[in-house]
Amino acid sequence: MKILDKYLLKTFLLTFTTVFVILFFIFILQTVWLFISELAGKDLDLILVVKFLLFSMPRIIPLVLPLSVLLASIMTFGNLAENYEFAAMKSSGISLQRAMRVLIIFIFVLSIVAFWFANNVIPYAEYKFVNFRKNIAQAKPAMAIVEGQFNDVGFYNIKVVKKSGENGNKLTEVTIHEKPNNMGENKTVIKSKTGELVSSEKSSILKLVLNDGYYYQDVTPKKYEDRAKLPFIKGKFKKQIINIDLSELNKVDDSKESIAGTNAMLNVNELRYTLDSLNKNLDNEIVSFSENINQRVGIRKFSSAIQAKKKQLPSNLMSMYSNKDKVDILKMAGSNVTSNIYSIETTQKDLKDKQREINKHLSALYEKFVIAFACFLMFFIGAPLGAIIRKGGLGLPIVFAVLIFITFHFINTFGKRLSQEGGMTPFMGSWMSSFILLPLAILLTYRATNDNGLINFDAITTPISQLFQKISERFLPAQKQK
C-alpha cells in the first residue's frame, strides 16, 4: 500500500506543480497588464520592476491555489481512470476513499499552509506593495513624466521635450496645463525653458522648479458681453515652484479592485482588534446622534410639557396665535424639519460608510479561512469528477475546471460585494460560494464511490460523431463525382 500511496502522491504533486507554475505565470501577466501604465515608459530600472512584481505576486495566490488543486485533481484521477488503473485497484480491493487518503492528508497540510500564507505573507506583501507604489515616485521622481507627451499628474498636465540628468530630473521645454477648478474657471498654461524635479524620502511632496518662463491665465469677466473678448493674464517669471502631491501619482482606478484598504494588510488578530474598535465607534456615534437629534427636536421636553398641561391646552393650538405668528411658526417649523432631515440623511450616509468599512474587514477576516476550505472543496470536486469522466490530459479536464472555478469565483465576488453593501451578512457573502458548491462535492464523491457516472458522455459524443460521419460520407462521394 505504501507503494501505491507514493505513486499517487508523486503523480499528483507533479501535475499540481506543473499546473500551479503555468497558472501563476498567467496571472502574473494579468497583473503586469493591469499596472502596465505604472511600469511602461517610466525609466524604471530592473530592480524596481522586480520588486513591484514580487510584492504583487502573493495577491494572486488565493486565485491560483484552488484552481491548481481542482485542475490537478481532475487530471490525476482522470488519467488513472482512463488508463484503467482505477479498475486494477478496485479489482484488488482498493476503494476510491483508500486511494484518496494520502492525497487528503496532503490537501490538509496544504490548507494549513494556505491559511498561514493568507494570514501572514499576503498582509505583509499588501503593505509593502501599497507603500512601494507610494514611494516609487520619491525614489525616481522622473517616472511621473514621459518625454514628448502630456502626463496627467494630480491637478496638472505636464509635457517635456527632453529629460536629462542622472535620474532624469532635469527637464527641457516644459509645458503645463493646470486643470480648472470645480466651476471650470481660471485655466492656466505655464511654459518654461528648463525645469527640475526635486523630491525627498521624508516628504510626500514633489517639487517642480521652473526657470525662465511665462504663464497665461484665462479670466472670466463679470459682465457677460466682455467674455467674447477672451481676456487673459500674461506673466513672466525667473523661477517658480509647483508642489505636487505624490499620492496623486499612485491613484488606482475605482473600477479596479481596491488594494489601498487597510483590511488587506491585517492578519486575524489585527482584524479582530480593528473590528472591535470600529464597532465601538459606530455604536458611540449612533448613541450620540440619537441624543443630539432628540435634543434638537425636543421630543422629551415637548412630551413632558404636554403631559403637565394636557388639561389646560385647547384642542387647536394654532388658535392661540395671530395670523402673523402662525406664519412665523409654520416657517420656523418647516425650517427645523428641513434641517433635521438633512442632518439625518447626512448621518445616515456616514453610518452606512462606517458599516461598509466594518463589512470589508469582516470579509477580509473570513477570506483567510475560505482559501483554506477552498482547497478541500476543489479537491473533493476534482478527484471524483476525474474518476467519473475518465478523461486525462489538457482537454476536457480544463473545460470542467474552468467552468467550476469561474462559478466559484463569480459567486465569491458577488457575495463579497453584496455583503459590503449590506445586502447580506459578511459571513454569508464570504462563504456563499463554498456553501453552494459543497453539495456538488458531496454528490460527485458519492457517485464516484458507488461507480455511478454522473453523465454518460458516450451517449452525448457518439450521436454527434455518427452525424458528422454520415455528413462526410454523403459529401465526399458528391465531390468524387465532380
Q: How far apart are CA 81 and CA 315, in angstroms?
A: 89
Tell me: the pLDDT tens digits for 255-301? 333 334 567 788 888 888 888 888 888 888 888 877 777 776 655 55
Q: Across residues 384-401, what is the average pLDDT?
A: 77
User: Is the pLDDT higher at 347 or at 468?
Assistant: 347
Go through 231-259 and write b for each residue having 16 or more CB atoms within 10 A of its CB, e for each that does not. eeeeeeeeebebebebeebbeeeeeeeee
Whole-number pLDDT of residue 417: 85
- Is it the case that residue 116 has pLDDT exceeding 80? yes
Which range, of 19-28, 434-443, 465-474, averages the lowest pLDDT? 465-474
Which range, of 23-32, 69-78, 447-456, averages the lowest pLDDT? 447-456
Task: Read off the pLDDT band of 112 (50, 70, 90).
Answer: very high
Residue 207, classed as helix, strand or coil, is strand
Tell me: the pLDDT tens digits for 180-217? 664 555 578 888 888 887 776 666 677 888 888 888 87
Q: Across residues 455-462, what is the average pLDDT?
A: 56
Average pLDDT, the chain: 77
Whole-number pLDDT of residue 109: 92
Tell me: the pLDDT tens digits for 48-101? 778 778 888 888 888 889 989 988 888 888 888 777 777 787 777 777 777 788
Whole-number pLDDT of residue 257: 37
User: Is the pLDDT higher at 313 or at 216?
Assistant: 216
Q: Across residues 427-443, what is the average pLDDT?
A: 89
- Is it the case that residue 253 has pLDDT exceeding 50? no
Q: How far apart are CA 405 and CA 394, in angstroms?
A: 16
Whole-number pLDDT of residue 166: 67
Phi, psi of 210 (to 5 degrees): -110, 140
Q: How far apart are CA 217 and CA 334, in angstroms?
A: 45
Contact 285, 357 (CB under 8 A): no
User: Is the pLDDT higher at 194 or at 39?
Assistant: 194
Q: How far apart are CA 85 and CA 77, in angstroms?
A: 9
